[in-house]
Structure 1
C-alpha cells in the first residue's frame, strides 16, 4: 500500500534537503551514474507537492525546478515497478511530458529514493536522446545508487538533528574520498568494456561491490 501523500511530504520535509546547497557527494553520484550507464543525463530529483527539485544533475541544470507534470520522476515514485523505464518515449504519443519532448528525450529510467518506511522521496534517474533498453542487472545497480542516496540523506539528517554540522561535513568528505577512489577503479573497468551498452554483467558486479564500500562509510552512526 502506498503511504498517504501528506505523510510522504512531511517525511521529505524532515530531511531539509529541498533547496539545499550543492554537495560534491551528490554531484559525484550522478556523474558516476551517467558514466556507468553511458547516458548523457543523470539526476537526483526530489518530488514535492507543487514542484520537483533537482539536487544534482549531469547533462541538465542542477538545482532546476520543474512542475510535477513536467517530469517523469513524478510517475517513477508512484510506479509499481521497482524502476520505471521508458525505452522510447517517442513511440507512444503523449507518453512523454512537454519538457521531455522539448528536450528531445527518448529514454528515461528512474529508481525511487525510498526510506525504510516506504516513503518515496524522489529518484535517481537516467535520460538519453536515443532509444535504450535497461537490463534487469542494470536496473538493480540503479536501485543500489538510489539506496546510496537515501543512506546519504539519512546520515545527513542524523548529524544535522544532532546539531553536528561538522560531523556531517567530515562524514561526507570521507564518503566523497571513498567514492573518488572507487570511481577510479570503475573507470578502469569501464574502459576495458569499451563502453558496451547494455553494461555487461561482469562489469556490473564489481561496480556494485565498489558502491558497497561507499555505503559502509555512510553507515557510520554519529556519536551520541
Structure 2
C-alpha cells in the first residue's frame, strides 16, 4: 500500500517543488565554496557534504552558517585548528554526491560529515535506491580516504517550517524523510569507520522569516559533541613526494592560471605583513611547478623563481601541516643547499601549504631568516592564518575568472 501511495504522491511532490522553487532560491544563503576555518595549530581537515541545513539558508556567510559553527566548536573541543571544506548544493542527492566526491582528493581529510536526504525526500526518491546510493558513497570514502578518516552520517532532517517554503506539503516530505532515515543503518553496515548520528532538533520554532546564526551554532554543538572523541591524531611523519598524485597536482596548478602572472599588491602586502610580524629577513608566496619554484609575491629578496630541487617549499607541499626548519645547517636535507651555503645564508624557514579548490597542495606561504630560531605554536597559527588569507584570494580570483 505504501509503494502505491508513494507512486501516486511522487509526481505531485515534484510539481509542488517546482512551484516552490522560486521562493526557495530567493532565500538568502552564502555564495561561493570557500568553507570556514578556526585558528589553531595541527589543524583537523573536515569535509561537509550535503543539502538543506548544510547550504546555510538565512545567512550570507559560511562562517555564520554550519561550517563556521562546526569549525569553531570542533576547535574548542579538540584544542586544534580546523579547516572545513564544502560540497553543498540545494538539490544535492546521494547519487550526485557520489560523483562529486569521486572528483575530490579525499586522502587529505580527517573527517567527512554527510548531511544528505532532504532533497531526496522532497523528490520522493525510492528508498531502496537511496540506500544503495548511500552505501556506494560510504564505500568510496572508505577506499579513497586516508586510513584515519572518520565519516559521520546525519539522519535526514525535518522539512524546515519557513514561510516561503510552506508551498511544499511538509508532512509528506517528513514522512518520506523518515523512510529514508530508516534505510541508513543498513547502508552504514560494513563501514567500521562510519558513525550514524541523529539530526539535532531545531533549536528554535523557525517560523521567523529566515533561519539565523544561533540555529547553526546550536546544531554545530550537537553535531560536534560525538565527533571530537573519535578524531585521533594521525602519524605526523612527513611523507615523500607522491608521484602518482603529482600530475593531478600540476593540473590543479595550471587551472589556477597563476603562473607567470604580474605582481599583485594584495599578495605583496601580505608578505610584507608577515616579514614585519615575524621579524624575518624575507617572506614569499610561492607556487611549485613541475621543475621550478615560482614566486607570485616576495618581500626581502628579488628572485622570481628557483629550481624546484633546492626549494624548501617543495617539502611544505608534501603534507597538510606547516613545515619548519629551525636551523638549516643542522638539517641534513639542507646542509648542502645553495641557499644555505651561498650569500643568502638561509638558516630558518617556516612554510604553510596553499591548497587549490580541488584539494591539491600547489604552493606555500613562507618566511625565511638568516639566523636560526624557534617557531612557537602561536606563530604557527599566525602563519597558517596568513596562508589562508592568500588562499582565499586565490580562490576568489578563480571564481571571478569562471564567470567572465
Task: Give the one of 73, 77, 100 matched to 2:313.
Answer: 73
Offset, 1:98: 1.6
Q: Return the alpha-carbon distance in structure 1 between the equivalents of residues 251 and 331 of structure 2.
A: 35
Superposition misfits of 4+ residues, deviation over 4 angstroms: none
Offset, 1:117: 3.8
TM-score (norm 1): 0.68
**8 Å contact 1:47–1:53 — kept in the other structure?**
yes
**8 Å contact 1:70–1:100 — kept in the other structure?**
no
Gaps of 5+ in 2: 1-106, 109-241
Query: What is the match of residue 289 of structure 2?
Result: 48
Query: What is the match of residue 35 of structure 1?
Result: 276
Offset, 1:131: 0.8
State the secondary structure of the residue aligned to 1:39: coil
Equivalent residues, number: 161
* Alignment map for 1:113-124 (pairs within 5 Å): 113-124=354-365
Q: Return the alpha-carbon distance in structure 1 between the equivalents of residues 249 and 332 of structure 2.
A: 31
Task: Give the one of 307, 329, 337 matched to 1:90.
Answer: 329
Gaps of 5+ in 1: 164-224
**8 Å contact 1:113–1:121 — kept in the other structure?**
yes
Query: What is the match of residue 352 of structure 2?
Result: 111
TM-score (norm 2): 0.38
Query: What is the match of residue 21 of structure 1?
Result: 262
Q: Return the alpha-carbon distance in structure 1 between the equivalents of residues 297 and 341 of structure 2.
A: 21
Task: Give the one of 125, 128, 137 matched to 2:378.
Answer: 137
Offset, 1:116: 4.7
Provide, for residues 45-104 of structure 1, a one-character-per-residue CA deviation record: whole Å limited to 9, x for no partner. 000101110001011115x11111111000111146x11101001123452422332111
Identify the structure with the greater helix proportion.
Answer: 1
- Of structures 1 and 2, the larger Rg is shown by 2
Higher relative contact order (CA 8 A, sep 6+): 1
Query: What is the match of residue 100 of structure 1?
Result: 340
RMSD between superposed Cα atoms in Å: 1.6
